Structure 1
Amino acid sequence: MLVAGITKKSVVTINPLATVREALMKGRGVKSLFVEKRHSDTDVVGSLIERAANEK
């Protein structure tokens, strides 16, 4: 199942070779980013999710 199939908001993906600067969520204006796989057999999908300040 793809992430886009279970989320309610728009999903933004980034190149797995992107620098941290390019991947900053503020620059994209989103609260979640999911890293695309380069090699389907060996890569792990990564995610960056902003947590609300009141969440523990």
Structure 2
Amino acid sequence: MSFLRLYLKYDGSVQRVAQETFVHRNTINYQLAKIKKILGNNLKTFEERFKIILAFEVRDVL
């Protein structure tokens, strides 16, 4: 599972993602910063997160 998907699943908890993936939280923060830069989205609001969660769900169905 991707860092972004886990980050959304655990409601933005970097610590929880780090525990789940056995990766240091600084690595998670670095990866999330890269993802946010690519998306042009800071993932702070529910609406921003919902769009990405919905995209993951659509991808799973297809």
- Shared fold, TM over 0.5: no
TM-score (norm 1): 0.26
More helix by share: 2
